Amino acid sequence: MPLKPTNAEAEYFAREEAIKLRKLAQKSCREMNAEEQEKLKKLHYLHCPKCGMEMNTIQINAVEIDKCFACGGLYFDDGELEKVAGRASSFFQVMEEVLGK
Ligand SMILES: [Zn+2]
């Protein structure tokens, strides 16, 4: 009978994978020249990462958040989720570890 990973094991590997993906993205960003970065920013700025429609900026708890009214998605800039939700216990500790604060 195949062994099923425990939740702790699955979470560990998911974290390791996220950390690896973060490092790859940071490396890719460092290697991209400024002209390419500006071109990508112009192309994608305030467009929904899920459906591609234009997003709108709304204010919640004095924090401006990008909202896609086409698909309902929300986009939080770095640190905005913590400001809106408050600093919950383990959730943000895990997020900081994975996302690298
Ligand atoms: Zn959308």
pLDDT digit string, tens, across residues 42-88: 999 999 999 999 999 998 878 899 999 999 999 989 888 878 777 65
pTM of the predicted model as reported, rounded to 2 decimal places:
0.62
Which pLDDT does position 67 carry in this prediction? 94
End of a domain among 45, 60, 78?
A: 45
73 and 31 share a domain? no
CA-based angle 46:52:84, to the nearest 5? 50
Based on the fold, state whether residues 98 and 51 are members of the same structural domain: yes
Per-residue pLDDT for 97 more than 70? no
For residue 51, what are the domain limits?
46-101
CB 90 within 8 A of CB 96: no
One domain, residues 57 and 101: yes
Are residues 34 and 4 part of one domain?
yes
76 C-alpha to ligand 1 centroid (Å): 14
Q: Compute, in angstroms, the gap from residue 54 CA to the centroid of ligand 1.
A: 8
Q: Where are the alpha helices (DSSP H) in 3-89?
A: 7-31, 34-44, 80-85
Among 73, 78, 70, residue whose Cα is nearest residue 95: 78
CATH code of residue 84: 3.10.20
Same domain, 76 and 61: yes
- The confidence score (pLDDT) of residue 50 equals 95
> For residue 27, how far is its CA from the centre of ligand 1 (angstroms)?
27
Residue 62: the pLDDT is 83
For the chain, the average pLDDT equals 85
